[in-house]
Structure 1
Amino acid sequence: MRVPALFEKDAYTVGFAQAANETPWRIAQTASMQDEAARVGCRLVCTDARGSAAQQVLDVNSMVAQGVDLIFLSPIEGTSIVPAVGDAKAAGVPVVLLDRRLDPSPATAAGDCLTFMGSDFVEQGRRLAEWLVRNADGKTKIIEIEGAAGAAPAVGRKKGFDEALAAAGGFKVLASQSGDCVRDKGRRIAETLLGTHPDANVVYAHHEEMALGAVAALDAAGRTPGLDVIVLSVGGGREILQAVADGRVNAVVECNPRFGPLAFETLHRYANGEQIGPWVKQADGFFDMASAGAGISHAY
């Protein structure tokens, strides 16, 4: 059975099953969906599963029971939600995945959703590596603090970064370890790896919280972040952009949480009969010292 159709109408009732409104990024994502729904005249049924996969299943089932026209879903994890997505499809409700994919191993997972909407994690890593190649000024010895082990953002950000540096030549990742996107764990890992590799002069953290932890570790070690050691990261929150503007972090590629405009544009394109591809890419900005200041007021 194909993904259900969506027919043109004056106003839609749309579900948004949020994973957890517990971080500035998630809060910004929810606000963007709410703001855009209001702007285009859609009714938004918005839920917060608070990190509970079981609750998110109930949220999706409730949206189907309420007769929503389409569900935007940010999955907490990619397996337990699959039956609920299949039930939505059987009920004639298209599902669009936001920022996280489903586990591809269940046979029906790929065919049950209209599309995945999210960032290109490989490209994020590649953009930071390309910036480093242009601006290294002899700094080529890298400590990498990865995100959650096995998670798509961590895998993609490492792949893009490593591939771009390998193509450029002359750079070496001295050590790489997962910091689980937590600031204090990033700080502790940076302290340990900088102690083991005192010649390191680049820190690449997959998430802004870990980068800010690494900045604290560099301060404690008597090294000047952004000058003695290049600091690169992914994010775009106000605190990390201020650090870039202050010269304490060198470059940040954005992971854009503002899905609302793209989400509702895609809804209307689908209702108008357009073919939607399997991946609708979210556009991510890039900030260095020259551009970060202007982005602070718009940051999450």
Structure 2
Amino acid sequence: MKAKRRRRLLAALLLLLAAVSAGAFRYFHAGEKDSGVKYLIGMSQANLVEPWRVTMNREIQAEAAKYADMRVVFTDAEQSSKKQINDVKNLMAEGIDLLIISPNEADRLTPVIQQIYRQIPVIVLDRSINGYGYSLFIGSDNERIGEQAGRLICKLMKNRQANAVEVLGNPMSKQAADRSDGFLKVIQSSPNCRLAGTVVGNWLSDKAEDELKAFLPAHPEVNAIFAQTDEMAKGAFRAVKALKKEGIVIIGVGGISGSGGGLAMVRDGTLAATFVSRTGGAEAVQCAYSLLTDKMGLPKRIILQSDLVTPENAQQYLTGKSRKQAVSSGRGKKPVLGFVQVGSESGWRTDNTVSIQSAAKEMGVELRFVNANGSQQREIEAIASFVRQKVDVIAFSPLVETGWDKVLQQAKDAGIPVICMDRGVSVGDESLCSTFIGSDFVEEGRRAANWLVANEKKPGKLNVVEIQGTPGSTPAIGREQGFGSVLRDFPNYSISALDPGFFTYEGGRKAMENLLNYEKKIDVVFAQNDDMALGAIETMRNRGLTPGRDVTVISVDGTKSARRAVGSGELNCTVECNSQLGPLLMRAVLDYSEGKELPLRIITAESVFPSDGQP
């Protein structure tokens, strides 16, 4: 016990020294704005017991030092939501211009953050909150990290049964919940994997060690541990060693460098693997400056890359020579972008094309543009042509999700990153598509359904029909999934039929004809884009129905034509799908040309336009 107390004191001292060296306790007062400080930023950190968070603070401080007119005030919530709420109030009293916050707990911090967002810009960093009451979120896809960890454990066990223990951080944080959701989804669906149990380490190495020392003796079958941070994985290793257990693989998350960091632990064999989870500190400062100086082209969410690190590639990451960093070397010239547009099937697509072409011209990117006119084969041929031309970046809007592996592998082999624009792909190797820029289609479907259940006045059982876009495309799959996931909780709504309209006006008109012929009674139409909704409205008029009154009509895109239909009452609601992706794409291309790593996903900001005219 004395040794443990000494270890805790030493760890606390080292963290304190690291925090001080990172500027984590450097405070500025509002009066300092008079001495050349134009922008004062508050950084509310959840805790400083995790070395990963000390690294985050250090990266924020280093990036902020590049801006002569910016200063950052740091606070440490010490894992207390109550203290973090008080910290934020104090920062506001100091007169900060923007808040960066890594929330200790989502539920308790959400209302506070939403209230501040109504006054100043807010960047939520690393740990998300409930809803979208912030200017920008920057962080990892924690559910994806959990899924990757689950798949890795199943793979490492080979022909053996995997009996895994999960070491949670703070169960009330969204980060911990998302990582656990992803992990359990894989473990519970894999025939050779099972969850032996869960312990709570609360992000602390010693806590994880103590919990596992109590748990493992009663569960001799355990052969794998997934710790949600490297710090807790370190505690797991000590527990396994103290209990003289053998054959247990330990996986962590974090991947920071330095002595005792996750990368070194993988290299030295302490951990079987870790996932590099970027802190987003530098990106937060860059985006903060853009928000404060009214620069355009910022999304709603930036989802950072997360890489698997094993003993085979750990040294590359420790020396800064990882594959992604090597690919992302700066080119020092005007970047060349090869772009393949899927077609011109809708008003949204036309607006999207104009946005891309205009942004390329305004932002200094050489654009080589091909319109595939709705043909996957033409898209494949254009991508292959861009590979031969040795462009710097390829971007395209895929017609459907599948069938791209071969041509995207050619781009990867040539060292050319591929950006999927507004639609995603389903490929065997996730790295074939470096980045996705566009909307959260599942969320768009949810928003449409949430508007319906909150505003529909018709009594009794309601029959809902859906006009689908192009079958197999990402928007069609995501919007159908999101819409249905909400209505499943409301038994008075029944989705009775789905007919494809291929995202065109004519397709929507014909789909509505089919649905009216097949269905005796239709109360609600959900069209997966505005053009199909407008086509369906024409069919309803021709059949003697009053759209918007006899039949509730909901769609997605938020085009000008749709908003006019909302104003006239024929369309009840349209969920915005932002077509102005050009500036985001060109910003990503320019960042890549300067040697910056591309994020995993860039998600746009969007609204809902209901018939009452209040978005």
Aligned length: 290
Residue 245 (str. 1) matches residue 567 (str. 2): yes
Tell me the equivalent position of 1:38: 361
Does the CA contact (< 8 Å) of 1:95 and 1:113 recur in 2?
yes
Find 2:383's aligned residue among 49, 52, 60: 60
Deviation of 1:231 after TM superposition, in Å, equals: 0.6
What residue is the counterpart of 1:70 in the other structure? 393
Question: Among 370, 378, 388, which residue is 1:47 paired with?
Answer: 370
Q: Assess if the C-alpha contact under 8 Å between 1:2 and 1:111 holds in 2.
A: no
Give, in angstroms, the shift of residue 216 of structure 1. Answer: 2.1
| CA distance in 2 between partners of 1:184 and 1:132 (Å) | 25
Please name the residue that 2:413 is paired with.
90
Query: How far apart, CA to CA, are the structure 2 residues paired with 1:191 and 1:77?
Result: 25
2:445 pairs, out of 125, 145, 167, with: 125
Pair 1:114-2:418 in alignment: no
Instruction: Please state how far the C-alpha of 1:111 moved relative to its aligned partner.
Output: 1.5
Q: Deviations over 1:194-214 (max 9, x none)?
A: 455444321111222321232
Q: Normalised by the size of structure 2, how large is the TM-score?
A: 0.43
Match of 2:186 in 1: none
Distance change >3 Å, CA 100–CA 274, structure 1 → 2: same
Q: Which structure has the higher relative contact order (CA within 8 Å, separation 6+)?
A: 1
Equivalent pair of 2:530/2:557 in contact (CA under 8 Å): yes
Alpha-carbon displacement from aligned partner over 1:173-197 (angstroms, at most 9, x marks no partner):
2333333334344334434434554
Question: Match of 1:297?
Answer: none
Secondary structure of the structure 2 residue equivalent to 1:213: helix
Larger CA Rg, structure 1 vs 2 = 2
For 1:141, the equivalent position in structure 2 comes to 463
Q: Secondary structure at the match of 1:141?
A: strand
Residues 355 and 582 in structure 2, CA contact (< 8 A), matched pair in contact too: yes
What's the offset of the Cα at 1:274?
Answer: 4.7
Aligned CA distance change for structure 1 residues 59 and 36 (closer, same or farther; 3 Å): same
Alpha-carbon distance in 2 for matches of 1:222, 1:144: 20
Across the aligned residues of Structure 1 and Structure 2, the Cα RMSD in angstroms comes to 2.7
Unaligned runs of 5+ in 1: 295-300
| Deviation digits for residues 110-164 of structure 1 (CA, Å, limit 9, x no counterpart) | 2222112222111111101111111111253322222233332222212111111
- Compute the displacement of 1:224 (Å): 1.3
CA contact (8 A) 1:175 1:193 kept: yes
SS at match of 2:330: coil
Residue pair 1:5, 1:92 contacting (<8 A) in 2 also: no
| Range that drifts further, 39-48 or 181-190 | 181-190
Structure 1 residue matching 2:489: 3-state secondary structure:
helix
Deviation at 1:80, TM superposition (A): 4.8
Counterpart residue number, 1:264: 586
**C-alpha displacement of 1:23:** 4.0
Aligned pairs (5 A) from 1:133-282:
133-138=453-458, 140-194=462-516, 196-271=518-593, 274-282=596-604
Alpha-carbon distance in 2 for matches of 1:153, 1:17:
18
2:391 aligned counterpart, secondary structure: coil
Identity of aligned residues (%): 35
| 242-251 vs 213-222, greater mean Cα deviation | 213-222
Matched letter for residue 457 of structure 2? D
CA distance in 2, matches of 1:142, 1:75: 29
**Are the counterparts in 2 of residues 53 and 81 from structure 1 also a CA contact under 8 Å?**
no
Distance in 1 (alpha carbons) for counterparts of 2:507 and 2:414: 44
Deviations 1:220-266 (A, max 9, x none): 33221112221101123332222111111000112222211111222
Rate the CA distance shift 1:6–1:17 in 2: closer, same or farther, 3 A: farther
> 2:387 is aligned with what amino acid?
V
**Matched position secondary structure for 1:167:** coil
Q: What is the distance in 2 between the residues matched to 1:144 and 1:184? A: 16
Per-residue CA deviation, residues 21-50 of structure 1 (Å, 9 max, x unaligned), is 454333322221121112221211222233
* TM-score scaled by length of structure 1: 0.84
